[in-house]
Amino acid sequence: MEKNKVFRLIWRFNAIIIMGTGLLAIAVLGFSALSILGSITRERQVSNVVNLNQESEIEEDLRFGEVREITATPYLMLPLSSHQSYDRASYQKTTDSTRNFLFFNSETGKRHWLLESNEYLIISDNTIAEPTLESQPNPVLAILYSIVKEDTDENKTLNNNDLFSIALSKPDGLEYREILTDIKRILGYKVIDRETLVLFYQKENKAYFTNVSFNDFSFSQPEELPTVGKN
Domain residue ranges of the chain, discontinuous segments joined by +: 1-42, 44-224
Q: Which residues pair with 188 in a beta bridge?
A: 200
Q: What is the pLDDT of residues 42-100, one digit of tens each?
A: 446 677 888 888 767 778 889 999 999 998 899 999 999 998 886 655 456 688 899 99
> pTM value?
0.76
Q: What is the pLDDT of residues 124-162, one digit of tens each?
A: 999 999 877 666 778 899 999 999 999 999 998 999 999
